[in-house]
Amino acid sequence: MVLTKEYTTSPPTFKHLTPYERGKICALLKEGFSPTQIAKKLGRHRSTIYREIKRGTTTQLR
């Protein structure tokens, strides 16, 4: 009897945004670029950019 591993799902392929990319997003937003244009420039999916913008614009309550 031979045992084999059969994986039914593929491993995740995502990676975190670098501090450089976060700074670039901020700079491009200030220049008036849309999130979709920023995503194309950085080679990321536009939903990643939208999530990062949403995450970065929340206000902290004391």
19 part of a folded domain: no
Q: Domain span at residue 46?
A: 26-57
How many Å apart are CA 23 and CA 25, to the nearest integer?
5
Asked whether residue 3 carries a pLDDT value surpassing 50, the answer given is yes
10 part of a folded domain: no
Asked whether residue 42 carries a pLDDT value surpassing 90, the answer given is yes
21 part of a folded domain: no
What pLDDT, in 10s, does the model give residues 21-39?
A: 999 999 999 999 999 999 9
- Over pLDDT 70: what percentage of the chain? 82
Averaged pLDDT score across all residues of the chain: 83
pTM of the complete model? 0.69
The tally of domains found in the chain comes to 1
